[in-house]
Structure formats: structure tokens, C-alpha cells
Amino acid sequence: MSLRAGVAGAGVFGGYHAQKYAESNKADLVAIFDIDAARAQAGAEKQNGQAYSDYEQFLEAVDVVTIATPASTHGDLARQALLAGKHVLVEKPIALDLATADELIKLAVEKKLTLQVGHQERYVFDAFGLLARPMAPKRMESRRLNKFSGRCMDVSVVYDLMIHDLDLIAQLLDATPQEIMATQMCEHGPHSDHTETRLGFMQGEARLAASRMVDTPVRDMRLVYEDGEIHLDFLTRKVTNSTDTPLARDFDQGPEAPHAFRDPLGFGTEQFLQSVESGQPPIVTGGHGRRALAMALAIEQAASQSDR
């Protein structure tokens, strides 16, 4: 019997998640929740599901839930779902404070439920072969610069965009930053729309920039190792690698490429459902989500102090 799957959030990204459930042979997409009843109905009709604007009724109809609502609601909706005995895939960030993240992690353990966090870029890096390198980079530079879209304005660009790269840094360096410096700019509201930070580690440093206010988008990462450099441009789809270790993949997304590379969101959905079925921990756990959140909070604090 397939798992009954539901998606909380009928926005653009919620629609992507709903599609992945609809394509899976491990689950049936049966429900879409949104506080906007008309939007929930429109989303449900696309996938032949049932629309809900009442969250409790929505939870009664599903076994597993993906939370793709605004970031400021993630923690509360994930808490309610876990308390109701539902397995949860919550989009990043896991929450906006560590106490809530800890509560979610504890609930999942106590109730023996899967709690997965939507850091999909992790799967891409693993498919590239970057996470398998035996040595850690001594320097990382990342730029995630987007045009203004009006999306995710309930949180700063750190929680909206930079948190992707914070999870990757945590995986590549497996360390806590010893020093954090950050600056920020606000243009469209009370939250930062452009943040730059330097994270100092015992073995090196990471410099990150995230923005939702540029004219020309940029999305790339440079990794400097003892034996060379790797530069990935995710927009031009070019990779430069001067290290001794060839990457397992390039940007080829043909049928022979791994699922994680061709469709990281779909791969993450399948991993979530597999974790639910097997009882084994997901690839990206609540603990991983908490680690990225802790760095995001520290960056926000450092940026606020630099503004004084």
C-alpha cells in the first residue's frame, strides 16, 4: 500500500514537491494544504488531490508531509505534523531558532518518525564526487546572487539562499567556524536582501555572498585545495578542476547520469520515502538542518553587530 503524501504550501516550490510525489511509485499525492483556499484548490486540481485550508484536517488525511510554506512557518507546522504522528520533510531552514529545531529533532526520535530537511544541493555535490574527496578545502568562495522576485520576504537572504551553501560548507569542512564577520543590506523590507560573510575555521576559511537584489544573477563556488582548485559555475554549467582527483560527474544531465544529479528534488523525495519505509535515518537529518541553522543565526548576529 502506497503512503498517503501531502504538501503544505501551494506556492511554486510546493507545486514542485507535489509533482515529485505524483511521479513516485512509493506514495500517492492525496492532499494539498494552503491557508489560501483558492490556491490550495488550484494546486490540488493539478495533481488530482484534495485541497485543505484547515491544517488539522490535512494532517488526518496523510501519512507523510512535505512542508513548503514560508520559512517563518516551518517550525510550527513541522511540530504539529510530528505531534500528529506524521513523517516530515521540511524545506530549509528547519526552523528559525535552535530551540524549535531541537524540539523537532527530539519529537522525531521519541515518536520514531523520519525528519528530513530539504537541503537538495547536498545530493548534487555528492553526485559530483565532491563529498568523497579525502581532503577538505582550505578555502571556499560561494556566490548565490539572484534578481529580486518578491519571494521569501518573511526572512533574510541568509535563511532564503545562503543556507544552501552553509550546509555544503558543513559537509565539506565538518567543523564549527571560530570567527564570523558579516555585513548586510536591506532594500525591500526589514530583512537583509544582501549579505556577505567570512567564516574562519581552524583549517581555512569560507567567504560567502548571497543576494536577491542584483541585476545579473551569479551562482558559483570555488574550492581551493592543497592539490589544486575546483570551480563550478551553476549557470553556465561549466566546471574547472585542477586537482589530482577527477570529478565523478560533469554537468551532463542525460539519462545515464545519477538520479541525484538529474533531479535532486526528486531524489530527495525518494530518499525521504525510503527512510520512512525502512526506518533508517535520511541523508539530510534534522541534526544537519540544525547545524546549518546555527551558522545562519551566527551570521545574522555578526551582521547586526557590524551595523551598530
Please tell me the CATH superfamily of domain 121-251+292-306, with its number.
Dihydrodipicolinate Reductase; domain 2 (3.30.360.10)
The backbone torsions φ and ψ at residue 199, rounded to the nearest 5 degrees and listed phi first, read: -110, 120
What's the CATH fold of domain 3-119+265-285?
Rossmann fold (3.40.50)
**pTM for this structure?**
0.94
| Residue intervals in the chain for CATH 3.30.360.10 | 121-251+292-306
User: At 272, is the pLDDT very low, low, confident or very high (cuts 50, 70, 90)?
Assistant: very high
- pLDDT in the model for residue 6: 98
Q: Could you give the 3-state DSSP secondary structure of residue 147?
A: coil
User: At 1, is the pLDDT very low, low, confident or very high (cuts 50, 70, 90)?
Assistant: low
As a whole number of angstroms, the distance between CA 199 and CA 177 comes to 6
Q: Is residue 164's pLDDT more than 60?
A: yes
How far are the Cα atoms of 122, 152, 159, 234 from residue 220, in angstroms, in the given order?
15, 21, 18, 6
| Residue intervals in the chain for CATH 3.40.50.720 | 3-119+265-285
User: At 271, is the pLDDT very low, low, confident or very high (cuts 50, 70, 90)?
Assistant: very high
Cβ(118)–Cβ(288) below 8 Å: no
User: At 36, is the pLDDT very low, low, confident or very high (cuts 50, 70, 90)?
Assistant: very high
- Average pLDDT of 163-192? 89
The backbone torsions φ and ψ at residue 178, rounded to the nearest 5 degrees and listed phi first, read: -90, -20
- pLDDT in the model for residue 299: 96
